[in-house]
Amino acid sequence: MTKFKTAILAIIFLAVLLASISLTPWNYGEQAQPAYEPVKEGMRTPESGIGSIGVELFTIYMFPFEVLSLVLLAALIGAIYIAKKETA
């Protein structure tokens, strides 16, 4: 009975997935809108760019960055511990 319920659930999931893909208005060609507006030459500022992000990340936001790295390390160690099979 459990396999039957799982099969029904999988069929429903695939039906919803296929319906959402087929009913999505995909824009192709000249109808497609750009994902972002290109920056005009006069609008560019010296503060914009990847360099300023790096400077702020390693100066102003250094402590939150390090705390986040420790949290991610703890999550990784926890995932390894949970996934490890016991050999007792």
56 — pLDDT class (breaks 50, 70, 90): confident
Residue 10 has pLDDT above 70, yes or no: yes
> Which residues have CB under 8 Å from 27's CB, separation 6+?
33
Residue 88 has pLDDT above 60, yes or no: no
Which two structure tokens, joined as six digits, stand for 34? 């750009």
Q: Which residue has the higher pLDDT, 64 or 25?
A: 64
DSSP assignment of 1-27 equals -HHHHHHHHHHHHHHHHHHHHHHS---
State residue 13's pLDDT score: 93
Q: How far is 27 from 48, CA to CA, in rounded Å?
A: 31
61 phi, psi to nearest 5 deg: -105, 25
Which two structure tokens, joined as six digits, stand for 66? 């390090």
HSE (side-chain half, CA atoms, 13 Å) at 34: 4
